Amino acid sequence: MRIAHSNIARTLVTLMTSACMGGTGSLLIGVSGNGGGGNTTASLSFFVQPNTANVGQVISPPVEVLARDSLGGTDSAFSGTITVSLASNSTGATLSGTTAVGARDGIATFSNLAVDKAGTYTLQASAAGAAAVTSTSFTITTATGP
């Protein structure tokens, strides 16, 4: 017996619609990490990219890194430590501030990062069990007088 593709598609759509209409959520569930422990399936991404700042001044708004589940949504169960560092650093600059933050509901906020030399940089975010990710480039400038 051969089942037509349209029957299979119709059945799947009906199942998905039924699950969504029931008020208990959809059948689309991402695989989340295990709270940040050793083996996680989370991936990382920069939610708030680093912005231009003056030498030694805090990068604002704060840089935020998300742990994502297998469907790309925020992995709110992830509570592991996310670390940021300078990925491209041709000037030998130092990144200061709190560079290792425990994620809260899958989000790590780095509120006091600063770079001590003028130049163009990228940040790299990493966490145990997740592939490292690199930010967009940002510039640190020398402050000029008023």
> Regarding beta strands 95-96 and 114-115, do their DSSP bridges make them parallel or antiparallel, or are they unpaired?
antiparallel
pLDDT on residue 115: 98
Residue 77, strand partner residues = none
What is the rounded distance in angstroms from the CA atom of residue 90 to the CA atom of residue 85?
A: 14
Q: State the CATH class of domain 31-141.
A: mainly beta
Domain ranges of the chain: 1-29, 31-141
Among 53, 51, 49, residue whose Cα is nearest residue 142: 53
Instruction: Please give the model's pTM, rounded to 2 decimal places.
Output: 0.71
For residue 52, give the 3-state DSSP assignment: coil
120's CB contacts (< 8 A; 6+ apart) are: 88, 137, 138, 139, 140
Q: Which burial class, exposed, middle or buried, applies to 108 when counting CB atoms under 10 A from its CB (0-12, 13-18, 19+)?
A: buried
Q: Which burial class, exposed, middle or buried, applies to 6 when counting CB atoms under 10 A from its CB (0-12, 13-18, 19+)?
A: exposed
pLDDT on residue 144: 74
Check residue 27 and report its DSSP letter: S
What is the full per-residue pLDDT of the chain (146 aa) written as tens digits? 454 544 555 554 444 444 444 433 333 334 344 444 444 467 999 999 999 999 999 999 999 999 999 888 999 999 999 999 999 998 999 999 999 999 999 999 999 999 999 999 999 999 998 889 999 999 999 977 66
